[in-house]
């Protein structure tokens, strides 16, 4: 009797959130999903021994899970959740209110009455009592505990039952419990992999878009005339990412993976060739790619079967995900009653497969999707839906849930001689390349890659390895997922900062200064800012002190009132910038936010200035040290014009004077400038966040005329 073979592949992935330089995790999502999803998704299968599935594990995600399990992960989000509520600073409280309610309100906040009460209070009148904050600290974590532990662990069940008035001892124990739960993840996968109930496939180590690593210009094949950045072509990087992934799975699970879900289902002939050469036997992508490969809309008769790609004596078996059915689980069934959703899913598959079965052939139905992010929108994290689904599959004599490798053994493949380059999203690469932000990110990556090629041979082996690892992290797909117009998240600024930090670390490990461009966001963010033109000449005393209120009257002003989306532990340092001229010199003043004075010591201030026509810029890098300024680097557009072209002072404020002649500004000409602050080779603040600040003129008379109007005009 012909069979329906259901081939579930759950893709488990989070970006690499760790900063290798500081050792700190910049976002908590790997830990949170390890608490909520990674264990439960595989453990539930023990209730259904005849349901076999494939789990695709991204090595960079699993390496993070292992660090959390070992207790060696430095996670400031967790540290703040465990900090005694009585010791929270105002900044801590603001951070907790901002970051403790990311969960879906309906399914993960209001499900717990006290959590919902705190959520409402935080939005209406704020929180004040230490007990309220401690309860927020507890609930922001407990809501992410796996259903298995919420129902079956006595301590977790007791916390949830009590709901409020948590103690410091509860906080401490909750932190310990997190580590215990995360430590169950890898053993759970090993257990079912050894039993044969699951197959473990993998993805290139840091989740890059492999076709774009091999040749970024291939994006123009799937989307003709798309705007592209300078060409990135490093197929050896793609090979290394794949080889490291195979090694990781072999080391941690005892068997090298034969299956590959390329990041975002992104494929090309060159990628398939490399994967086959490394020993992968099967791979998968989306039905949209099959349509474009065969240049027609492929019906289910063509979709519900395996294929085999062959080129140049290399071969790779391929399945193509049912895009519609997979997305029903990902985006639709969360809104339905679990039993109705499970029945609807299976009934649709029966209808799709009816003609195939009637012809005497088996049907292979590839269901491939994210194994973690959808569940927070389901009732009780999707467990009722999955239990009902797996029960119905187990009871249906014409359905069998199989691993991918089993599917290929059960059914003969159709031949393919070529694969169209594309991803699971619209069978192209537009999410990751082509938009202005995406292309800027690729340009930065290419420059860092070129810097590595030029300088890596001159640094010690350990630093060379660290530089290359930072490059591979920056090659990951998640950064460009958040650039461009397609996706929105409250964490986009954090992703942008982390991406640029990884690139800056490449230069640092190569003993090079990171380029100034990495101090500025790639994101086209909007900030609440004040800009005022200079209204008259100034000639302040350069002493690092606010000597007189009047000495900066007439200066231009730039002030950022509030910048949001900051990462925990990151402070925006510059409060405002004043600038002006006396016709001979350009003057610059920085005022800092109160309370940051101690953190400024040891930082480097970088100032770049140039004429409005974009001529040769002038650049100075100064180290701030206990009120003393040390020039690390000075490049003037016209050196030698003045005996003392630069004068700087740092005290309560930063003040500087630059000779207009020395920095290449013609008498009365306009200029533009930008500045940034760096610490240990990493950017910590930049003004402005994007672009330049400008003075239209350095002629005192013109300033007054623009401000007051020409003489004789009322």
Alpha carbons 92 and 452: distance in angstroms, whole number: 39
Closest CA to 239 of 274, 268, 208: 274
Q: Residue 181: what pLDDT?
A: 97
Q: Residue 528: what pLDDT?
A: 60
Give tens-digit pLDDT for 368-381. 999 999 999 999 99
Compute the average pLDDT of residues 38-57: 98
Domain stop point among 382, 398, 427: 427
Closest CA to 540 of 657, 367, 429, 681: 657
559 band by pLDDT with thresholds 50, 70 and 90: confident
Tally of structural domains, the chain: 3
Q: Domain for residue 380, yes or no?
A: yes
**Which is more confidently placed, 22 or 279?**
279
Q: Are residues 504 and 575 part of one domain?
A: no
Alpha carbons 695 and 710: distance in angstroms, whole number: 19
Q: Are residues 552 and 653 part of one domain?
A: yes
Alpha carbons 336 and 237: distance in angstroms, whole number: 44
Q: Domain for residue 137, yes or no?
A: no
Compute the average pLDDT of residues 469-490: 90
Q: Residue 527: what pLDDT?
A: 56
> Would you say how long the chain is, in residues?
714
Q: Are residues 577 and 502 part of one domain?
A: no
CATH of the domain at 394: 3.20.110.20
Residues 6+ apart with CB under 8 A from 604: 621, 622, 623, 624, 632, 677, 678, 679
Alpha carbons 50 and 387: distance in angstroms, whole number: 13
Q: Are residues 398 and 285 part of one domain?
A: yes
Averaged pLDDT of the chain: 92
Q: Residue 601: what pLDDT?
A: 86
Q: Are residues 349 and 259 part of one domain?
A: yes
Give tens-digit pLDDT for 387-400. 999 999 999 999 99
Compute the average pLDDT of residues 664-679: 91
596 band by pLDDT with thresholds 50, 70 and 90: confident
Question: Has residue 565 got a pLDDT over 70?
Answer: no
pTM to 2 decimals? 0.82
Q: Are residues 332 and 201 part of one domain?
A: yes
Alpha carbons 270 and 267: distance in angstroms, whole number: 8
Alpha carbons 696 and 27: distance in angstroms, whole number: 42
Domain stop point among 483, 518, 553: 518
Q: Domain for residue 626, yes or no?
A: yes
683 band by pLDDT with thresholds 50, 70 and 90: confident
Is there a contact between 198 and 256 (Cβ–Cβ < 8 Å)? Answer: no
Q: Residue 303: what pLDDT?
A: 98
Return the minimum-mean-pLDDT range out of 330-334, 510-514, 627-631.
627-631
Q: Are residues 421 and 441 part of one domain?
A: no
Q: Domain for residue 493, yes or no?
A: yes
DSSP code, position 382: G
CATH of the domain at 474: 1.20.1430.10
Q: Residue 593: what pLDDT?
A: 86
Give tens-digit pLDDT for 490-536. 788 888 999 999 999 999 999 999 999 999 999 986 556 678 888 88
CATH of the domain at 559: 2.60.40.10
Q: Residue 589: give the domain boundaries.
A: 528-706
Return the minimum-mean-pLDDT range out of 215-229, 263-277, 336-350, 595-609.
595-609
Q: Domain for residue 56, yes or no?
A: yes
Give tens-digit pLDDT for 424-459. 999 999 999 999 999 999 999 999 999 999 999 999
């Amino acid at each position: 009797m012909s069979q329906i073979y259901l081939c579930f592949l759950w893709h488990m992935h989070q970006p690499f959130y760790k900063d290798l330089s500081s050792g700190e995790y910049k976002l908590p999502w790997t830990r949170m999903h390890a608490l909520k999803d990674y264990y439960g998704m595989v453990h539930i299968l023990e209730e259904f021994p005849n349901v076999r599935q494939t789990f695709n594990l991204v090595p960079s995600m699993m390496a993070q899970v292992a660090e959390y399990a070992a207790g060696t992960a430095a996670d400031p989000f967790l540290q703040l959740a465990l900090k005694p509520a009585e010791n929270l600073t105002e900044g801590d409280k603001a951070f907790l209110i901002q970051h403790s309610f990311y969960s879906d309100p309906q399914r993960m906040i209001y499900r717990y009455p006290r959590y919902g009460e705190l959520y409402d209070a935080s939005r209406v009148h704020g929180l004040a009592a230490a007990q309220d904050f401690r309860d927020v600290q507890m609930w922001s974590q407990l809501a992410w505990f796996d259903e298995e532990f919420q129902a079956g662990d006595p301590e977790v069940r007791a916390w949830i039952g009590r709901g409020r008035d948590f103690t410091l001892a509860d906080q401490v124990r909750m932190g310990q419990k997190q580590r215990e739960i995360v430590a169950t993840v890898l053993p759970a996968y090993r257990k079912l992999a050894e039993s044969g109930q699951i197959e473990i496939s993998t993805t290139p180590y840091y989740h890059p878009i492999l076709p774009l690593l091999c040749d970024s210009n291939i994006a123009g094949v799937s989307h003709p005339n798309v705007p592209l950045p300078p060409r990135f072509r490093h197929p050896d990087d793609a090979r290394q990412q794949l080889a490291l992934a195979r090694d990781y799975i072999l080391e941690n699970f005892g068997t090298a993976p034969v299956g590959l879900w390329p990041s975002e289902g992104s494929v090309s002939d060159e990628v398939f060739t490399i994967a086959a050469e490394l020993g992968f036997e099967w791979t998968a992508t989306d039905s949209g790619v099959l349509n474009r490969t065969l240049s027609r809309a492929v019906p289910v008769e063509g979709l519900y079967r395996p294929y085999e790609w062959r080129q140049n004596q290399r071969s790779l078996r391929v399945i193509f995900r049912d895009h519609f059915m997979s997305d029903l689980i990902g985006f639709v069934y969360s809104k339905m009653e679990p039993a109705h959703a499970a029945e609807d899913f299976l009934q649709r598959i029966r209808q799709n497969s009816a003609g195939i079965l009637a012809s005497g052939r088996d049907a292979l139905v590839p269901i491939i999707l994210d194994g973690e992010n959808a569940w927070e929108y389901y009732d009780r994290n999707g467990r009722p839906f999955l239990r009902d689904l797996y029960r119905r599959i187990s009871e249906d004599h014409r359905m069998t849930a199989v691993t991918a490798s089993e599917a290929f053994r059960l059914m003969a493949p159709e031949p393919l001689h070529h694969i169209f380059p594309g991803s699971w999203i619209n069978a192209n690469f537009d999410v990751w390349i082509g938009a202005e932000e995406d292309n800027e990110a690729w340009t930065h990556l290419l420059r860092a890659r070129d810097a590595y090629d030029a300088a890596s041979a001159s640094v010690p082996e350990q630093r060379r390895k660290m530089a290359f690892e930072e490059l591979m992290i920056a090659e990951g797909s998640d950064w460009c997922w958040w650039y461009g117009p397609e996706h929105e998240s409250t964490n986009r600024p954090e992703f942008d900062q982390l991406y640029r930090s990884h690139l800056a670390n490449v230069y640092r490990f190569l003993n090079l200064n990171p380029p100034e461009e990495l101090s500025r966001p790639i994101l086209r963010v909007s900030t609440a800012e004040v800009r005022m033109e200079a209204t008259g000449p100034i000639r302040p005393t350069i002493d690092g002190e606010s000597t007189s209120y009047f000495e900066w009257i007439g200066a231009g002003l730039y002030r950022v009132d509030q910048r949001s989306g900051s990462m925990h532990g990151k402070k925006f340092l510059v409060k405002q910038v004043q600038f002006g001229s006396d016709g001979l010199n350009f003057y610059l003043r920085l005022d800092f936010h109160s309370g940051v004075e101690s953190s400024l010591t040891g930082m480097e201030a970088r100032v770049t200035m140039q004429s409005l026509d974009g001529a040769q810029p002038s650049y100075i890098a100064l180290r701030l040290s206990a009120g003393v300024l040390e020039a690390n680097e000075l490049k003037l557009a016209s050196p030698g014009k003045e005996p003392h072209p630069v004068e700087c002072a740092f005290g309560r404020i930063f003040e500087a004077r630059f000779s207009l002649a020395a920095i290449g500004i013609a008498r009365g000409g306009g200029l533009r400038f930008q500045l940034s602050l760096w610490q240990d080779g990493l950017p910590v603040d930049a003004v402005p966040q994007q672009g330049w600040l400008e003075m239209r003129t350095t002629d005192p008379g013109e300033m007054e005329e623009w401000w007051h109007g020409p003489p004789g005009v009322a």
